Structure 1
């Protein structure tokens, strides 16, 4: 569970996935498709958000930090 510094490509891919899926979630809520929106949030968006938050911790701690199982 040690944080690794992301490559530029990995960072771009993560951010792109985060923002693209955010639009799907907003669309799902707008259409009152709650399960669709929540599924996209929990299955796609949340893992990408946790990755970005881990990288932020890595930047502050010098990538010598373990976020632990399930990012506790």
Structure 2
């Protein structure tokens, strides 16, 4: 659970996935397909968001930090 500094490619891929999936979630809500939107949020978007938040903590605390199981 230790945070490690992302490579430029890893950071770009994470951000790209986050923004692309966000559009699918918005479409799901617009179409009133709540289970579709929630599935994309929980299965794809949330892990990417937690990864980015972990990196932000790593930047502030120096990458010598553990976020713990389930990012507690």
**Structure-1 separation of matches of 2:32 and 2:62:** 43
Report how far residue 10 of structure 1 moved.
0.1
| Residue-by-residue CA offset, 1:30-51 (whole Å, 9 max, x unaligned) | 0000000000000000000000
Give the unaligned 5+ runs of structure 1: none
TM-score normalised by L of structure 2: 1.00
For 1:62, the equivalent position in structure 2 comes to 62
**Structure-1 separation of matches of 2:62 and 2:2:** 11
Compute the RMSD of aligned alpha carbons.
0.2
TM-score normalised by L of structure 1: 1.00
Give the unaligned 5+ runs of structure 2: none
Consecutive aligned runs of 4 or more in structure 1 exceeding 2 Å deviation: none
SS at match of 2:67: coil
Query: Would you say how many aligned residue pairs link Structure 1 and Structure 2?
Result: 72
Report how far residue 21 of structure 1 moved.
0.1
